[in-house]
Each structure stands twice: as C-alpha cells, then as structure tokens.
Chains A and B, each alone.
Chain A
Amino acid sequence: KAGVTQTPRYLIKTRGQQVTLSCSPISGHRSVSWYQQTPGQGLQFLFEYFSETQRNKGNFPGRFSGRQFSNSRSEMNVSTLELGDSALYLCASREAPPNEKLFFGSGTQLSVL
C-alpha cells in the first residue's frame, strides 16, 4: 500500500506570491489534515478535511485555505506569502476508527524570500 504522497518536496517563492501544495492520502483514508512545522513553533494544526468537508480548523489567517476532492486528495493554498510562512508543511491521513492512526507524508519545504 502506497504511503502519503506530498508534492512538491521543495518550493521557493517570493513574498506576495501564492502557492498550492498537494497531498494524496493512503488509499481508503478519507481524512486528510495539514500541519505547519517551524523550529520556533513546533507542529501547528492548520485544518482537517473529511469526505470533502472541512471538519476542523486551526488558528491560522484566511490566507491559508484548503480543499479535498472526491478521491480524497487534498490541496492547501497559501496566498500573499509572507516571510514567516517559510516552514515544512506536513500532510497526514487518518485511518478509520477504531484505531484512527495518523500517517504522515514527507512534507513540502517552503522557503519564502
């Protein structure tokens, strides 16, 4: 079974641009969540999608948005990039109950110049 796939692996953007990151969950997993990881803040929850609906949302500005498609693949978009958006963005898919184990992708390293 293929793991969680995130593309691209690395991105370099400049301030003011926008970016779209992609995540393909493990086959059969309907929940996809996104996290931002920085050295200073640790792992911070962005949002979770389940069956194309946003189920949970973290405390991030509206510049961060996401969506999920009918095949459970998910995209995350960041508009009007700021220097502080430089981070490792991680996607996770979740097993169905009862375990609900989280599986992570390798992440997208975003650098904003």
Chain B
Amino acid sequence: KQEVTQIPAALSVPEGENLVLNCSFTDSAIYNLQWFRQDPGKGLTSLLLIQSSQREQTSGRLNASLDKSSGRSTLYIAASQPGDSATYLCAVSGTGNQFYFGTGTSLTVIP
C-alpha cells in the first residue's frame, strides 16, 4: 500500500524567505503527484500537478519537482508572504485510481 510522508509537520519562517516542503512516497509506480493548500476549516485548493513523465511544474512563486526513482517531491515557495500561511498537502495517484495523501506541513509565515 502506498505511504506518503511529509516532513516537517510544521514550519515557521519570516516573511520574504524562500522555503522547501518535502513529500516522500514508498511506491514509485505513480501516475501523478498533486500539491494542495488548505486553509483552516476549508477545502483543498490545487496548486500544481506533476505527471509521472514530468520532472517539475511552475506556477508563479511555486515550483514543484518530482523524482520518481527516489520517491520524492519538493514544493519550493519563493519570497514567502503571510498569505502563504496554510497547510500544504501532497497526494499521489497510482494503480487502482486511488489518491494517497500525506498528513501535511503546516506553514506559518511571520510578518
């Protein structure tokens, strides 16, 4: 069964800092990997999706990379802002059409 881990569980950084969030998965036979952000009590907002054949995707200040062979993905956030404070989750999909989610990294950006 696919296991997805996100480290660290919580992260606090000063505004303007660049940061990296990590996601690792145990089964490299994935179809795609998706990064989400979630604000308290709300649904998940999709940030980036990387297909298994791709190495990275970029959207604005966000860059996500994927290394299938090592079972890792990173989400890079440039020039962090207080509005980036949220929980960030990664999810992988593989055989059986099911998505497996990590437990998330809670990010706080201090003004």
Whether the pair A102, B51 counts as a contact (CB closer than 8 A) is no
How does the 8 Å CB contact mask read for A85-113 relative to B, with 1 for contact and 0 for none? 00010101000001111111111010000
Q: How far is the CB of B2 from chain A (nearest CB, A)?
A: 11
Interface residues of A in 66-99 (CB under 8 A from B): 88, 90, 92, 98-99
Q: How far is the CB of A85 from chain B (nearest CB, A)?
A: 17
Partner of B97, one of A48, A103, A106: A48
Does any Cβ of A come within 8 Å of B85's Cβ?
Answer: no
Does any Cβ of B come within 8 Å of A43's Cβ?
Answer: yes
Whether the pair A100, B44 counts as a contact (CB closer than 8 A) is no
Interface residues of A in 29-84 (CB under 8 A from B): 31, 33, 35, 42-43, 45, 48, 50, 55-56
**Interface of B: prevailing SS:** strand
Interface hub of B34, B91, B96, B101 (most chain A Cβ within 10 A): B101
Nearest B-chain residue to A9, judged by Cβ: B41
Nearest A-chain residue to B100, judged by Cβ: A45
**Interface of A: prevailing SS:** strand
Q: How far is the CA of A35 from the CA of B44 in the complex (A)?
A: 11
Interface residues on B, range: 20 to 34
Partner of B46, one of A6, A42, A88, A103: A103
Whether the pair B43, A107 counts as a contact (CB closer than 8 A) is yes
Does any Cβ of A come within 8 Å of B69's Cβ?
Answer: no
Q: How far is the CA of A56 from the CA of B45 in the complex (A)?
A: 23
Interfacial chain B residues near A90, Cβ < 8 Å:
43-44
What 8 A-B pairs have minimum CB-CB distances, sorted nearest first?
A104-B43, A104-B44, A43-B101, A42-B103, A106-B43, A107-B43, A101-B49, A56-B98
Additional A-B contact list (6), CB under 8 Å, known A4-B43, A104-B43: A6-B43, A45-B99, A56-B98, A90-B43, A99-B51, A100-B32
